[in-house]
Amino acid sequence: MTPALERVRTRAVSPVVGTLLLVALTIFLAAVVAVGIGFGPGTTMLSTAPSAAFDLSVDANEQEISLHHRTGETIDVRKLTLHVTVEGEPLAEQPPVPFFSEHGFRGGPDGPFNERSDPRWSVGETASVRVAGTNTPAIDAGDTVGVTLAVDGKTVASLETKAT
C-alpha cells in the first residue's frame, strides 16, 4: 500500500470516530444535566403510599368502626388520616388519629389510634373508634360505611362495608 493511500484511509476514519465521540459526550452531558436539574438541591424523591390491606367492620349498636391490619407494611398513625362516610355522607367530625378524647367520639380509641399507644400499626393489630351520638350521621344497621386511609395525603386503602 502506498503512503498516500494509507493517509487517505486514516483521514477518512478519524472524522467519523471524532464525530461519534462528540455525539456520545453530548448525550452523556445532557443526561448528567437532566439528572442534576431533576434531583438538585431543594428537590426530593417522590414517595409512594405504604402497601397494606385492611378489614373493616362496623357495629351499629356500639357505633364502633374497627379496622384490622391484615397484611403489608407497618403504618405510622401519626402520618395517617381517616375519612369516614355513612351512606356516602361524611361524618361531621372525622377521627383525628392518633387521639385520646375528641369531640364527636366516645372515649379514647382502641389500638394504635390511641395517642397513648405505640404509633406503629403493624400486621395483626386492630384499631377502632366509637362515634358519639353528637356526631352525624348516626350509623344504623344496614348502612354502608366507607373508610379511606391515607398516609401523607396518599391513599393506602378505601374500604366499604355494611354496618351490622
Residues 59 and 35 in one domain: no
Comparison of pLDDT for 48 and 132, the residue scoring more: 132
Q: Is the pLDDT of residue 6 over 90?
A: no
Q: Is the pLDDT of residue 12 over 70?
A: no
Q: What percent of the chain has pLDDT over 70?
A: 83
User: Which set of grid coordinates corresponds to residue 67?
Assistant: 379496622
Per-residue model confidence as pLDDT tens digits over 65-119: 999 999 999 999 999 999 999 999 999 999 999 999 899 999 889 999 999 999 9
Split into its structural domains, the chain has a count of: 2
Residues 42 and 60 in one domain: no
The pTM for the full model equals 0.71
Kindly report the three-state secondary structure assignment for every residue of 82-149. Answer: EEEEECCEECCCCCCCCECCCCCECCCCEHHHECCCCCEECCCCEEEEEECCCCCCCCCCCCEEEEEE
User: Which set of grid coordinates corresponds to residue 41?
Assistant: 438541591
Residues 72 and 136 in one domain: yes
Check if the beta carbon of residue 62 is closer than 8 Å to that of residue 132. Answer: no
Residues 35 and 92 in one domain: no
Residues 113 and 152 in one domain: yes
Structural domain for 59, as ranges:
52-162
Give me the CATH number covering residue 57.
2.60.40
Residues 25 and 70 in one domain: no
Q: Identify the three-state secondary structure at position 27.
A: helix
Residues 104 and 56 in one domain: yes
Per-residue model confidence as pLDDT tens digits over 14-60: 677 777 778 877 887 877 776 666 555 554 555 677 899 999 999 99
Residues 69 and 149 in one domain: yes
